[in-house]
Structure 1
């Protein structure tokens, strides 16, 4: 595969996550109204997807180390597309939650393989740059997803928005089937043995480099998930934005993330991985702390909330390429298992955050701001006390 094809494929595979979430975020109030559901039930369509996404990776990772990335990708994308059809045809909130959970489980295979492919083909230092380019492609997909979701929901219904999610899965399936070449040249025949698997996971979870970079990824994604789970209700219901205006707001957020991935490559070339992550930690803390301060002082407007969050999401564009590539760097022979374990831990944190947000929602922006501030502190401390002290990825 050519370098350009690899970046395109990685962008599609990694981009399936924001497509599955961002496209239907503007439709959440419409889903709530149509089914007469509670806020916590509606948020469960996102939390269940992400919990299944994270948990399934513990299965997909060892399977991909044993049988290769290509068959797992084909199974994952095929199931994602079929589950997408179930979402479109869902006639109750319970059905929608079940289909979204299945879609999340299938998505786990796709994203896990994408992260492992980077380690299959590149060293940890080079992989951070490649991941950054792929996540720039993800940024373009995220930019388009929210406005399209809002537009489709306004013109037709939330079913149309979820139809596009299904269509993206089908396109990715065809692209992988036609162009992807296996990247695991020496499959591990023992990868699925219980003793070997337990030993591998124990080795991974105890590795200081894995812990350091995974904590950065968890903190940064926790803040992003908070925004994804809460923002439609804050900006549409509380602040009165139209769905298409909220879609443009998400576009601006995704564009800022895209700029973060570009900035990441510039910082990597000049400072290296550890200093780049440390700089990102400053941005994260400034954004989260500033947003919480505004909310505590009663500033609940689009400017007072989004202005600080742009700093946080800019840092997210720095942390995710470095965090995801750095976490799997020490494990060239178990990249699938390491990618799966990191993804699982990120989604567990997101699921717990979703439950907390559903329990404390009070009709204001304060719960969202407080949660983002909490995760910004976790991100910054992980960057400064763990990554910076480790001195970078070690193989």
Structure 2
């Protein structure tokens, strides 16, 4: 391991592996909350007497909550330390998960998903800040690659588990399981995650100081370039996540279980991408790895659009092409995160992580909803792929204009 600014966490290989598992579990809670109930979308819509667009809005609400929550929790973690905000966030998320079992309408469901998003932001934003507390440069990129491997298990298993749960019980069972996983995360944090930000490195929590820090970050091309690139790429991926359940089941006649298998296969692409990226660390510059991932993902979504336009799409061809897209995204996520956070000092890591995460989830929740702007109000393969291509092109352009300025920090 390289030099770290903080020696709170021991340096042994075993302790680093354990840290990956702990932070992976915390960060994976958000993806699991997103993916576990995806196979149940048609059933939820029927049960609550809601339109497909309303059920998709539960995803958007969670993304908006994640964006807002990170803006609040990130700066709090810079002032209070990492443990306390993490524990509070995980506790609230657990309660909201169990309350989702009792929702009487789509409106209440949307509201609770927003609360879940705000609380779930703690796991995402503070985990990244902990990594920045302890690692930098290639060490951070290597750790993020390992972290994404652990995180990737959640979206891979989420739809599979969700699809199987539908065979033994109603869709509400998904949220019982989610609440149980979150409760376990609370226990792990309480007993095994130490504080990684010493008191002398904490920032006083002043609104004026926070605004100054945020203003400096948004004017720093070294930070905002990779952060915007990550946000647009995530929005491209989230367009697929939010729409493909309806597209595969309604447009192509797949079952909930078949959809969950396709989703898992595509998530394997993400995991493979992150691990190949990890292998290339030290052999290829961070910015080059990021550029390669962006180009590969864009090529894949262009092929997807071609399949949609030509009418040649099938479940097999869609799954294969989406696998390639996710492989490319597996390069983008750890490298864009590393470039953005490595350009900043540890004292503002929480705020920088929060701003980057809020941009990511705000774009994911807002831009992905464009796929549903059709005459029927339902996402189609054409609308989904058109939005994905547009976002992929924007991600490449932003990287070319701004993202490469952070290259010397990779």
Q: TM (normalized to structure 1)?
A: 0.96
Structure 1, residues 134-173: CA drift from partner, whole Å, max 9, x if none?
1101112222111000110232111111211111111111
CA contact (8 A) 1:14 1:135 kept: no
RMSD of aligned residue pairs (Cα, Å): 1.6
**TM-aligned CA distance change 1:13 to 1:296, over 3 Å:** same
Q: How does 1:215-294 map to 2 (within 5 A)?
A: 215-294=228-307
CA contact (8 A) 2:226 2:406 kept: no
Instruction: Find out whether 1:308 has 2:321 as its counterpart.
Output: yes
Instruction: Find out whether 1:368 has 2:381 as its counterpart.
Output: no
Alpha-carbon shift at residue 244 of structure 1 (Å): 0.7
Alpha-carbon shift at residue 328 of structure 1 (Å): 1.6
Instruction: Find out whether 1:135 has 2:148 as its counterpart.
Output: yes
- Which one of the candidate residues 346, 356, 362 is aligned to 2:360? 346
Q: How does 1:177-188 map to 2 (within 5 A)?
A: 177-186=190-199
CA contact (8 A) 2:217 2:352 kept: yes
Task: Measure the CA separation in 1 of the matches of 2:163 and 2:408.
Answer: 41
CA contact (8 A) 2:145 2:278 kept: yes
**TM-aligned CA distance change 1:179 to 1:356, over 3 Å:** same
CA contact (8 A) 1:65 1:336 kept: yes
CA contact (8 A) 1:287 1:376 kept: no
Structure 1, residues 193-231: CA drift from partner, whole Å, max 9, x if none?
121111100111111111121122112101111011100
- Which one of the candidate residues 177, 183, 189 is aligned to 1:170? 183
Task: Measure the CA separation in 2 of the matches of 1:246 and 1:390.
Answer: 39
How many residues align structurally?
Answer: 394
Residue of structure 2 in register with 1:381 after alignment: 397
Unaligned runs of 5+ in 1: none
Structure 1, residues 97-143: CA drift from partner, whole Å, max 9, x if none?
11111111001111100111110000133111101101101112222
Unaligned runs of 5+ in 2: 1-8, 10-14
What secondary structure does 1:157 align onto?
A: coil
What secondary structure does 2:199 align onto?
A: coil
Residue of structure 2 in register with 1:196 after alignment: 209
CA contact (8 A) 1:235 1:246 kept: yes
Instruction: Find out whether 1:355 has 2:369 as its counterpart.
Output: yes
CA contact (8 A) 1:119 1:328 kept: yes
Residue of structure 1 in register with 2:12 after alignment: none
